Amino acid sequence: MIRFGRQDRQDREDRALQKSLKGVTSVKGVKNVSLGANPLLTSRTPVWRSRLLVGGLALGFAIMAGRAAYVQIFGNDFFLRQGEVRFARTLEMPANRGRILDRNGLILASSVPAESIWAFPEEVDQEEDAAKLQKMAKLLGMPLKDIQKRLDIDNKNFVYIKRQVDESIAKQIAELHIKGIYQRKEYRRQYPEGEAVAHIVGFTDVEDKGQEGMERTFNAQLAGKPGSRRVIKDRLGRVIEGVGEQVPPMDGQDIHLTIDSKVQYFAWQKLRDAVQAYKAKGGSVVVLDVQTGEVLALANYPSYDPNNRKNLSGEQLRNRALTDIYEPGSTMKPVTVALALQQGKVNPGTLIATGNGRMQIGTANIGDTHAYGTLTVDGVVQKSSNVGTVKISQRLTGEDMWENFSNIGLGQKPDLPFPGMAAGRLRPYKSWREVEKATMSYGYGLSASLFQLARAYSVFARDGVMMPVTLVRDGVVDSTGKFKPLEKSEGKRVYSPKVAKQVLHMLHIVTLPGGTAQQAQTVGYSVGGKTGTARKQEGRGYSAQKYRASFVGVSPIESPRIVVGVMIDEPRGSIYGGVVAAPVFSEVVQQTLRILGVQPDMSVQPGVITDAPQESL
């Protein structure tokens, strides 16, 4: 029935076509040709053609539906990842690095907003924007060829032009509207106190990671945790929309140091003047508060500006007070005498025969700068007699001396949160020869940093107790403002209070007429200390021309508040600690005690300075 119906419909269509063409006898000049006789017009369309067409369309729709199902359902995770790779970005939200403050809250290091200039090299048209690029190079203080070199890097879709640019400069660059040049907000570290505190605070790199000093030691606490947010970007790097939750940054903790920036600057200034005046290689000053164990100053010269670190050398970066060790020379004599007093081998009035200032141990000759004859133990320290000190040490055992040196911190790294500190050198007593035991009694054959020596002298200022020291005040404050105290340990008793007082008296008379350090006297305050002038080692021997001049002392004598150590490396003209280092000590003590509010304990004018004997080398 269907077949006959189709045939009838075809016949009707043919008759209608013939009727419509009736009378038409030619096409394009061809006469007497009947269109109705054309086999193409009279032939029937095969059924398979329509079926093929319909089947092809159906197959196409089926493929599209399958592809859509694969993309939307089965392969959804893969295509989401690919989309994220191409357009989704996680933007880091930098945390504000914590500040470093002095004991009074003065800022020593802080972070300020800065912009980093970066580019998509493939988007920058260097020919079209040549004039704008030249202006940008001038604003950044960079040669144009350096910028062009960065933009010419192959296969790079991101490159920094310059990091941590001032906001005012960044704004001018943005106004140039250079296609392909973008900006990113960062933080830049600033150090208001500059060279004076550089060796303590240190500095960070362009990634804001601590590289030296306290910036390095407390990097984890200062850095905080950066935040993040997920965004969709177009091909030009513009943010289209944010996706997901935003993680806010957690700012770093503030670190409060025990350093007093006023004391630090004054100590650094006076040290600088002395180093320049004596054309020395360098020097250091250490100031300790003996009541609290806090470090008030760690000054070094030469220094550097942490805000501008071009052409830095390793020598400039060293915190000499903590990292440089040397043979302390005569500054060790009070330590030897204190042990002998503690063991009852001598008392301050015991007579020591130094003869003509010469003695021999084995093949070694030990001598004084003057022939003092017979001296009391007080006089041995006041005149800085090598011979007298050796004769006192002969009443002691090597084991006792080694233990005494260890008890005051020699041969051990100071317990401070600071990188690169030196432990010094103190060999086991069993390896000492007789001559080495003798030379160690007056500071040769062992080595220590200036900080170790200053801390050792604090035992005399603390009634014989070796105090713990700290560079961080009390504790740290976290990002929530919560204070976390630091653990503190009790000091260790090394000498009796009586012995500590006796040694303090000896240190005091060193600065009085007849002593080797009369220039250490300070206006308004009593002082005491010991000079040291030590030859520098060269190879297996000692230099005849290179010395280290030092002075370590305490003030005020009756109620000690501070210990100050001064070391000048390779002074020229004068080499003695009583001449080179003692005046720096005097000025630093006077200024520090005034800043701390300590009342003067003596007449305003210091004693008359007479011809002072020089300490023995």
Residues belonging to the active site: 330
Report CA-CA distances (Å) from 396 to 121, 260, 388, 410, 434: 76, 41, 14, 18, 12
Q: Which residues pair with 565 in a beta bridge?
A: 286, 552
- The position carrying tokens 């500095």 is 203
Residue pair 603/318 in contact by the 8 Å Cβ criterion: no
Report CA-CA distances (Å) from 148 to 143, 206, 544: 9, 22, 56
Sign of CA pseudo-dihedral 99, 100, 102, 106: negative
Distance between alpha carbon 412 and the CA centroid of its chain, in Å?
Answer: 23
Q: According to the 3-state scheme, what is the secondary structure of 513-569?
A: CCCCCHHHCECCECCEEEEEEEEEEECCEEEEEEEEEEEEEEECCCCCCEEEEEEEE
**Cβ contacts of 349 within 8 Å, gap of 6 or more:** 376, 377, 378
Q: What distance in Å separates the CA atoms of residue 472 and residue 487, rounded to the nearest whole number?
A: 11
- What single-letter DSSP state applies at residue 91? E
- What single-letter DSSP state applies at residue 570? S
Q: Which residues pair with 529 in a beta bridge?
A: 553
Alpha helices in 462-528 (DSSP H): 497-510
Count CA within 13 A, CB hemisphere, residue 203: 23
- What DSSP string describes 252-316? PPEEEES--HHHHHHHHHHHHHHHHHTT-SEEEEEEEETTTTEEEEEEEES---TT--TT--HHH
Residue pair 264/197 in contact by the 8 Å Cβ criterion: yes
- Strand pairing report for 100-101 and 254-257: parallel
Q: How would you class 63 by CB atoms within 10 Å of its CB: exposed for 0-12, middle for 13-18, buried for 19 or more?
A: exposed
- The position carrying tokens 């409060």 is 256
Q: What distance in Å separates the CA atoms of residue 600 and residue 588, rounded to the nearest whole number?
A: 15
SS3 244: strand
Phi, psi of 613 (to 5 degrees): -70, 145
